[in-house]
Amino acid sequence: MNQSLRSLWTPGKDTAVATSKLAAPQLVLNSRMLYTSWIPEDLRACERLLPRALKPAGNRAVYMNQYVVDSAEQTTGFGAYSLTYLGLDTELFAPDGVTPARFFTHYFNSSQVMREYAAERGVPAGSGSTTLEVAGGIATATTSVEGRPIIRTRARVGEVADIVLGGQLRYITELKNRLIAGNYPYIGELVSTFEVQSIEFLDPQHPVYALRPASPLQVVTGSSFYAPRDSFVYPGGEDDIGAAEGNGHRP
């Protein structure tokens, strides 16, 4: 391994030890990832989480990514970490002109180094941990804050297949009353079968509960997948897209 990269890592630890400020973008290889999307129960509560200048996607979908990076050698500076982030699809689009651009509302990361990196870019970075395990053909992802589970997702998954999904996602943050959009290139190896079984929000007292799914569960299948190996750049191609307040009215 290149010595300059070694200086950023403490092998075996779950956070990186940075000897200098991390430059953007950063590369992550072969994370284990469960990505889901659904129609929420409380549309108005979700919409109020958006800056006034942004409008939700027509279907009002919520997205969530629960993933784990098992070793420091899989990143260019973050170290090993686990992360759950979620938020709302917007009426804007990723570079492909089809995939919705997505606004971060909640972000739970196990790594202080990565939380600081993300917060500098307007991500609402908080502390939390995520586990992702597969047993009996069921992938279970659990997100915890202060040791208390707040979200649990279960999905039926098959074996790794000769299916590769790639492209660029676009995530939007709010920083100093400006909206910042970043492009996140990714390549993921998918599984032969995938079916979301449940998405549970476990703590009605936690603010993230506002994004809970409607009942019965309405999964947005085109935005949901399981990838035992997913690699991406984090972030790149950032642009200021305007004032966060805008001229709209939020009910």
- What pLDDT score was predicted for residue 23? 84
> Edge-to-edge, what's the strand order for the sheet holding 138-145?
129-135, 138-145, 148-157, 194-201
Rounded distance between C-alpha atoms, residue 99 and residue 123, angstroms: 20
Note whether 172 and 180 are within 8 A (CB).
Answer: yes
* CATH superfamily, with its number, for domain 32-243: Acetoacetate decarboxylase-like (2.40.400.10)
31-40 residue pLDDT tens:
999 999 999 9
The 3-state DSSP class for residue 209 equals helix
pLDDT digits (tens, 9 = 90+) for 180-220: 999 999 999 999 999 999 999 999 999 999 999 999 999 99
Q: Is the pLDDT of residue 11 over 90?
A: no
For 204, residues 6+ apart whose C-beta sits below 8 A from its C-beta are none
Per residue in 83-123, pLDDT (tens digit) is 999 999 999 999 999 999 999 999 999 999 999 999 989 99
Residues 6 or more apart whose CB falls under 8 angstroms from that of 144 comprise 128, 129, 130, 131, 150
Confidence of residue 3 (pLDDT cuts 50, 70, 90): very low
- Give dist(CA 195, CA 157) in Å, integer: 7
Chain-centre distance of CA 22, in angstroms?
20
Residue ranges per structural domain of the chain? 32-243
Q: Give the pLDDT of residue 4.
A: 35
